Amino acid sequence: MNSPLKLWSTSPDDFPADNPAADQLEFMVGYAVLAPSPHNTQPWLFCINGTEVELFADRRRALRVADPAGRELVMSCGAALFNLRIAAEYFGHLYKLDCLPDPVNPDLLARFHLSLHGETSAEDVLLFYAITQRRTNRQPYEDKPVAEEVLRQLEEDAHRFGAWFKVVRDQPARQAVADLVAEGDRRQWADKPFRAELAHWIRSPREAHADGLPASIYGIKDWLSFAGSTLIRTFDRGGGLAATDRDIALRAPALGVLGTDSDDPQAWLDAGQALQRVLLGARTDGVWASFLNQPIEIPDLRHELANIIGGAYPQCLLRLGYGPEIPPTPRRSVHQVLVLPQHNVHA
């Protein structure tokens, strides 16, 4: 049985350059699935047919309470799509990309056609190697500011991929954003269906799962982790987490909001690609990131956040900074996310 961490150590030297395009695309999908997703749900499926791979939303892995419209699900798939693009460019291939190509099937998010050989740029190389170095790093960050030139570059990078990235530089605005994070914690944890959904994705160290999150992320000690899902389902811990997350937001070396000017599946797919470009670009400069999306998952708080930052539709809130190395989270194998042509991927 393959280790759920195996894909993180895939060597590009193993790329099947002399094999058919289908084999090459399968290898590239191994990098696509290293993208982030809420609760590490990994809500994507891929269908390879000759020189083409289709990306589908896997609605069976949707967070129906926290993400009822599937906005974050589509963003996660967009991040995976960006990884696929970078892998193709690194291995010297041009490609044709069609997003949302079938109005009859909204789960078909993209059709990616591998084309002729092209040039690999220095940027391609840096971003490609950042794929396996990216983590959602929830550890405390150093008391060290992120260089202004790095932040400006991230803002430019998001714009290139159809989104915007606004760094929250004003201290009163940071305090207001931190208050929204705390309020989001309180509201979500007071909601029993939210806690039940979260508990479904919590894993103990004894479980050999290829998805989900460790209970320790939510302050549950290792010796209690076997009961982590039960504790989360049963107890409202929103008050304590609200205070902790508010402090985390205030102390973050940098806070940034990534968003779009519209709020539909195409915008969400664009936001996911822009997000992954920001995350990989940050890693090339040694900067870690983690998510504080609580206020974006609650409509009226999302509207308040938009008013604070002066942007139309916030899609995710990032904490950026320098911190310790951390291990990666598990991933399903490539074969587990591949489906046959004509396969019905609807929930």
**172 pLDDT more than 90:** yes
Using CA atoms, how far apart are residues 67 and 211, in angstroms rounded to an integer?
Answer: 18
Mean pLDDT, residues 76-88 taken together: 98
Residues near 148 by beta carbon (within 8 Å), at least 6 away in sequence: none
Q: pLDDT confidence of 347, banded at 50, 70, 90?
A: very low
Domains of the chain are 6-135+330-337 (3.40.109), 136-189+239-326 (3.40.109.10), 191-235 (no CATH)
DSSP 5: T
> Half-sphere exposure of residue 160, counting CA atoms within 13 Å on the CB side?
11
Look at residues 304, 243, 338, 334 and name the one whose alpha carbon lies nearest to residue 7: 334
Using CA atoms, how far apart are residues 266 and 277, in angstroms rounded to an integer?
Answer: 17
Measured between its terminal Cα atoms, the distance across the chain in Å is 27
**220 pLDDT more than 60:** no
Mean pLDDT, residues 117-125 taken together: 94
21-42 in b/e burial notation, b at 16+ Cβ within 10 A?
bbebbbbbbbbbbbbbbbbbbb
pLDDT tens, position by position, 6-53: 999 999 999 999 999 999 999 999 999 999 999 999 999 999 999 999
**225 pLDDT more than 50:** no
88: exposed, middle or buried (C-beta count within 10 Å: 0-12, 13-18, 19+)? buried
pLDDT tens, position by position, 44-75: 999 999 999 999 999 999 999 999 999 999 99
153 contacts 133 by C-beta, under 8 angstroms: no
**228 pLDDT more than 60:** no
**223 pLDDT more than 50:** no
Q: pLDDT confidence of 344, banded at 50, 70, 90?
A: low
Using CA atoms, how far apart are residues 330 and 333, in angstroms rounded to an integer?
Answer: 9
pLDDT attached to residue 161: 93
Mean pLDDT, residues 229-250 taken together: 79
pLDDT tens, position by position, 279-300: 999 999 999 999 999 999 999 9
92 contacts 120 by C-beta, under 8 angstroms: yes
CA-to-CA separations, 69 to 73, 113, 173, 340, in angstroms, rounded: 9, 28, 28, 27
